Amino acid sequence: MNFFTDMIKAKKNIANKIDLSDSMNIAFGIDAHFALGMGVLMSSIIKNNPSATIAFHVFTDKLISDDISHLAALGRAHKNIAIYIYYINNNKFTAFPTLFTWSKAIYYRFIICRELSTVSKRCLYLDSDILCLNSLENLFKADFKNAIALVVPDHDGMTEYARRNFNFNGEKYFNSGVMLIDIRRWNEANISEQAVTLLQNKNNFKFYDQDVLNILLCQKILFLPHCYNTIRSLNDTIDKLDPTIIFLHYAGSVKPWQRWGQFHQLTSLWHKYQKSSPWANVPVQEARTYKQAKFMARTMKRTGNYSGWLQWSTLYIIWRIRDKTIKAVQE
């Protein structure tokens, strides 16, 4: 049986009816934990593209009722947008590798082009840890020149990693958090099917879905300027932003909606967009696991809060011992 058979359990439009063929079609693949990031990203896109007709396509295994209500509120506030939710059969990805920072949702992007093939010629895939800071008009008018996707190079170290680990022969390794995709060419080249096969047959990838896409697309892409995927980590020192940035990508394990990500100046920019969105009153995520306690300890130390560092280091040790004890008993 084809891997993608019965992949979509249900599809719902919770906003307005618009002409998808004449819209900016923007897709996300998330689990419930990233709905807040996606919602704020949607709000930032709408704010910086007020006259555009936009169709948001959300591929997910589930969403909590509050986030569905917030998405519906976004649709009521903006009649020029539609919001489609595609509920995924998550059991399809049981054998695929994950990390504590990456769930099975990283693979949902492989479903997008199959589902949107009859409604649009191109779609923009976005990770949910991004902000839109300027207009997307020029991006959606870009010439593919026979490429399958328009992407942005990752930092040079990623190209070196790829050459060293899986004989990558592309010009540059790209970050898959922002991809403008020619849907027809993607499907004709069977990119999704090949990606699934690679993931099922190899397990030595460090960046899983992104590594696979770099292998399959390395000779079939055009590079966009870095303004379309400006990558910043909240583990880095304070940074200034170029005013021409289109997408600011909060890459890495620390996000602006997490308590341990509140001490970076770029977090305030994210909260600015949150406050003007239906998610305005959603609190930041608190540390509840030993790995999150470790992040809190690092943040406290970096900001010179040594009493906080001691507190969270102690909690890290206690919570880690607790979890390992529980796991040993269960085994």
Question: Which tokens go with 120?
Answer: 């649009």
Q: From CA 212, how far away is CA 158, in angstroms rounded?
A: 13
How far is 269 from 249, CA to CA, in rounded Å? 12
Tens of pLDDT, residue by residue over 88-103, are 987 877 767 666 555 7
Burial of 277 (0-12, 13-18, 19+ CB in 10 A): buried
Give the integer Cα–Cα distance in Å for 143 and 139: 9
Dist. CA 254–CA 246, nearest whole Å: 21
Say if residues 15 and 70 touch (Cβ distance below 8 Å): no
Q: How far is CA 153 from the centre of its chain?
A: 16
Output the DSSP codes for 81-133: EEEEEEEE-GGGGTTS--BTTB-GGGGTHHHHHHHSTTT-SEEEEE-SSEEE-
pLDDT, residue 105, reads 80
- The per-residue pLDDT for 99 is 62
How far apart, in whole angstroms, are the C-alpha atoms of residue 23 and residue 19? 6
In CATH terms, 8-232 corresponds, of 3.90.550.10, 3.40.710.10, 3.30.565.10, 3.40.50.970, to: 3.90.550.10
Q: Per-domain residue ranges for the chain?
A: 8-232, 287-331
Cα–Cα distances in Å, from 132 out to 33, 84, 124, 222? 20, 20, 13, 21
Query: pLDDT 10s per residue in the chain (331 long)?
Result: 488 788 889 999 998 999 998 999 999 999 888 999 999 999 999 999 999 999 999 999 999 999 999 999 999 999 999 999 999 987 877 767 666 555 778 888 999 999 999 999 999 999 999 999 999 999 999 999 999 999 999 988 888 888 888 878 888 999 999 999 999 999 999 999 998 888 887 667 777 788 899 999 999 999 999 999 999 988 776 667 899 999 999 988 889 999 998 988 899 999 999 999 999 999 999 998 988 999 899 889 988 899 999 999 999 999 999 988 887 787 6
pLDDT tens, residue by residue, 269-279:
999 999 999 99
